[in-house]
Structure 1
Amino acid sequence: MSDLTSAAHVALAGETPTGKPVFIHKASDVAQLVNNSDHARNNARIVMAIALGGVFLDAYDLGALAFGIKDVAREFSLTPTWTGIVASAITFGAIVGAAVGGYLTDKIGRYRVFMADMFFFVIAALACAFAPNEYVLAGARFVMGLGVGIDLPVAMAFLAEFSRLRGRGNKAASISLWCPTWYAAISISYLLVLLLYAVLPESHTDWLWRLILGFGAVPAIVIIAIRSRYMSESPVWAANQGNLEGAAQILQHSWGINAQVADDADRQPARRGRRAGWGNYGALLKGVYLRRTLLATVIAVASSFAYNAVAFGLPVIISSFLAQSLLTTILVSLALNLLFAFTGGLLAVRFVPRFGAWKMTTLGYVFQFIALLGLALTGRPDNVTQAGLAIAMLALFLLGQGFGPGSHSMTFASLSYPTSLRGVGVGFNQTLMRASSTVSLFLFPLLSASLDTNVFWVIGLAPLAGLIALLLIRWEPSGYDIDAEDFADK
């Protein structure tokens, strides 16, 4: 294998190429083979599954401390300020990580960035589990946040660049898989809390948060262990750098396509392939990308603000508004996430090739606005009927999030830009989204304390903003050949 080919990592395990040779003459041929391939994609699916494993880690680590922050505060005798620092350190890390990760994903490749950020998860999870004080815990959570921020741009790039353009399981559907994966991780963290809550002796309940945070190292170690056998560089990214030989080998191993590089092939990088850098962030705000960036940003920020206020506030809402015990709070939160948010995410994957991301996101925001309006009008439940209505509104909100903006915020962020800009596009989107999350998590307790259930009027502004942006900018990324834009001037 030549130095040029080895620069694009090829999995050790893969399918044996069959059929007549398919000759690659230029980088755009590789994108077309991926977009239109009807070949078996077993190894490509494994790559996508591993990328989703990174998304699982992101969600698990972000939500793992939701039920343990009070125990941390008690064990380390934290002031309210330090409690906030420990709780928010991961989101600040994610803000930095998203900006850096987007740049690196386009600059040095998807494979290298993905493999590097797995080590962040292992080291940070173990450091959290054995943290002797709040300083180490906050620092480890910040490092964990770096891993979370770095991971999503590269994970979305893998999902977009290892899936076909149209039909069932298209790029939009593949990217939408991030959403049920995210909710599954949140649900597993709830289940783990429930299991440990049941089996740990009362004298060792202080171990609960340490075990939950430390468990995050397990899936990261599994991914590291299997990376060389199944994980490959994105063939589209490799081709865009002029590495047609590496791209051909990846197509052979991941798709079983008998791809060969033609003798007269054009090995020049794609339009932006030779100058991936920080300046590409500026390209997101120019020309046709400006409108797409504005829409993707509003969807991400609005979705994040509303979801974090409601979903991560579920334990607070259920335990205080509905006056339930810790055990009931955990069970109801788990049920709502599984039955509605997770199910909504599966619906997004199934139906986005048919209806498109724009329509599903619009309907999802309508559901959320109705739900928040209902919660605001219901107020604090004082009887079974009102409590049932409040739960139904929470369910409606999570269902709308699952099949609407929750799933497709990433669709708009990932498929609004071609391969050369995808990393920085998702990184920019995630940086602003994480900032919104931080503000939301900080403001929700304050607004809830001062406004009580009237806080839902404020939260309702988020889906309303998303609806307005969608009506003003009617951009549909599903089924559109976005990667062709890299070759438009060649």
Structure 2
Amino acid sequence: MFKMSQINSIDANRYEIKSSADVSRLVSKFAGQGKSNKVIWLALIGVFIDAYDLTTLSFGIDQVVQEFSLTPVMTGVVASAIICGTIVGNLVGGWLTDKIGRYRVFMADMVLFVIAAIVAGFAPNVWVLIIARFIMGISVGIDLPVAMSYLSEFSKFSGKSNKAARLAAWCPMWYAASSVCFGIVLALYFLLPPEHINWLWRASLIFGAVPALFIIFIRSKYLTESPIWLANQGNLAGAAKILRESYDINAFASPEPVIKKAAIKPPKLSFKVLFNKTYLPRTIVSLVIHVSVAFQYTTIAFFLPSILMRFFHTDVLTTITTTLGLNLLFAFTGGLLGIYVASRLASRHILLVGFFLQFIALIVLSYIGEPQNPYLVYTAIIMLGLWLFAEGFGPGAQMMVYPTMAYPAEIRGIGVGFNRAVTGVAQASAMFLLPIWMARYQTDVFLIISIFAVIPLVVIGLLIKYEPTAQDIDAKDPEHDKKSGLDAVAVAD
């Protein structure tokens, strides 16, 4: 319980905090007050930058190949450079997020992104482009763990606009960025003179630096450190200060001796904690979700232009407009639905429905094959839309809700970072394997990929039934944490 008292003659509550759990409860109660909502939007803009950057070359890779006369091997190196960078960034960024704090990591990766995006856009040769894209990948990889931490630690646990809903918001923001990217490509397609059409990929890359510059410009006004992270480091006074300045909460750190107990040395961080007895089941489920999404997303979303041109025989303009339309009508609207259902339904149930619908869409696409008449073309397009819609409200949204809410604040960064690093490995593998599978198996590739919809149905539906939204893991009392194996000793092991 919070201790409340009156200050002078002002009729206002004064909250005494004695632990990180107290801070988490105050955040959950007063989230949305003051400038705390601005932090949420800044974190989502960070997600926008990540998605935009990863989308830019899904269409422009053909122009890069032509401009630099790339061999198939070098094409693969260029395409996978950013994915390899994200793997490094996820691991490093996740660890740094928990080690030195959310604010410093977030600002560092924004600066790194701006520099790398500009260098990539003006790359004079393929090697500069590869290095710049790799560094951009590091920035993207660093950003997601810290962005998810911000979304979780500046939101309330239950009710409207709760943690699950705000974490799910990363998905429509992702598809909004993808749609903006293709919208820019479409606009430049009409604006650029035919002799300079090869500038499409360069201009779209450079544009990605604009929102990052916006965050850097307004950081001092709205962005702040996470009070929950500070409290977990033993800095209750610093957490109380942020609660006063960002939430307009009259909070103060307890002067009682218990404060000395709270101000312990932060535990040594290690990725091994994700595999101890407490967290292993959650890590398994999270990894299954991330690997399954990686292979499916790479197939349908990243290779969507290739699917349309190769199997549906569309021209360039039709490919751009169809991709943009599918993203807006199905993926983005599905993501918006995901925000709504995330605050009302269990994460497991949403995942099961989403993966089931994706399985149906993939099976039908495999059955249709290369459509030979307009009716089958429309059916195939609808199935692509169904997959994107299911991804938007289901696995796409919940893949970040699950690990972010399953791990406590002291290991949230390394938890999200590790899962995203595994996603990067799976995505890089998919980018290498899928062109080979498409050439060899044609539309039967949809049947192969449907396996990645079946596996999570079995694991989540039958084997491991942990529900991350059932309780606020950051608001547990220290004594309860010790009994559950969630104390600082467990983190250090």
Question: TM-score scaled to structure 1, two decimals?
Answer: 0.93
Secondary structure at the aligned position of 1:21 is classed as: strand
Once the two structures are superposed, residues 332-361 of structure 1 have per-residue CA deviations (whole angstroms, 9 ceiling, x without a partner) of: 111111111111111111111211211111
Alignment of 1:159 onto 2:155: no
CA RMSD across the alignment? 1.6
Distance 2:75 2:17 in 1: 56
Indicate if the aligned counterparts of 1:273 and 1:420 stay in contact, CA closer than 8 A: no
Counterpart of 1:473 in structure 2 is 464
Counterpart of 1:143 in structure 2 is 135
For structure 1, the residue ranges without an aligned partner over 5 or more in a row are 1-16
Counterpart of 2:491 in structure 1 is none
Q: CA 1:272 to 1:153, structure 2 compared with 1: closer, same or farther past 3 Å? A: farther
Alignment map for 1:151-190 (pairs within 5 Å): 151-190=143-182
Alignment of 1:192 onto 2:184: yes
1:70 pairs with one of 62, 83, 103: 62
For structure 2, the residue ranges without an aligned partner over 5 or more in a row are 1-9, 488-493
Q: CA 1:40 to 1:83, structure 2 compared with 1: closer, same or farther past 3 Å? A: closer
What is the CA distance between 1:479 and its match in structure 2?
A: 4.2
Secondary structure at the aligned position of 1:22 is classed as: strand
* Range that drifts further, 376-385 or 470-479: 470-479
Q: CA 1:273 to 1:434, structure 2 compared with 1: closer, same or farther past 3 Å? A: farther
Counterpart of 1:482 in structure 2 is 473
Counterpart of 2:228 in structure 1 is 236
Distance 1:383 1:244 in 2: 67
What is the CA distance between 1:271 and its match in structure 2?
A: 10
Once the two structures are superposed, residues 156-178 of structure 1 have per-residue CA deviations (whole angstroms, 9 ceiling, x without a partner) of: 00000000011121111110010
Indicate if the aligned counterparts of 1:295 and 1:469 stay in contact, CA closer than 8 A: yes
Secondary structure at the aligned position of 2:35 is classed as: helix
Once the two structures are superposed, residues 247-287 of structure 1 have per-residue CA deviations (whole angstroms, 9 ceiling, x without a partner) of: 1111112211111222216335769961242x2x1011011
Distance 1:273 1:397 in 2: 47
Alignment of 1:31 onto 2:24: yes
2:318 pairs with one of 322, 328, 339: 328
Counterpart of 2:490 in structure 1 is none
Distance 2:314 2:377 in 1: 11
What is the CA distance between 1:18 and its match in structure 2?
A: 8.4
Counterpart of 1:425 in structure 2 is 415
Counterpart of 2:3 in structure 1 is none
Counterpart of 1:224 in structure 2 is 216
Distance 2:430 2:183 in 1: 25
The count of corresponding residues between Structure 1 and Structure 2 is: 471
What is the CA distance between 1:486 and its match in structure 2?
A: 7.6
Secondary structure at the aligned position of 2:15 is classed as: strand
What is the CA distance between 1:36 and its match in structure 2?
A: 2.6
What is the CA distance between 1:307 and its match in structure 2?
A: 1.1
Question: TM-score scaled to structure 2, two decimals?
Answer: 0.93
Alignment of 1:22 onto 2:12: no
Alignment map for 1:45-60 (pairs within 5 Å): 45-60=37-52
What is the CA distance between 1:431 and its match in structure 2?
A: 0.5
Q: CA 1:74 to 1:288, structure 2 compared with 1: closer, same or farther past 3 Å? A: same
Q: CA 1:272 to 1:426, structure 2 compared with 1: closer, same or farther past 3 Å? A: farther
Distance 1:96 1:40 in 2: 34
Q: CA 1:272 to 1:152, structure 2 compared with 1: closer, same or farther past 3 Å? A: farther
Once the two structures are superposed, residues 390-443 of structure 1 have per-residue CA deviations (whole angstroms, 9 ceiling, x without a partner) of: 001101111110111000000111111000110010011000011111111221
Percent identity over the alignment is 48
2:78 pairs with one of 86, 98, 112: 86
Indicate if the aligned counterparts of 1:171 and 1:479 stay in contact, CA closer than 8 A: no
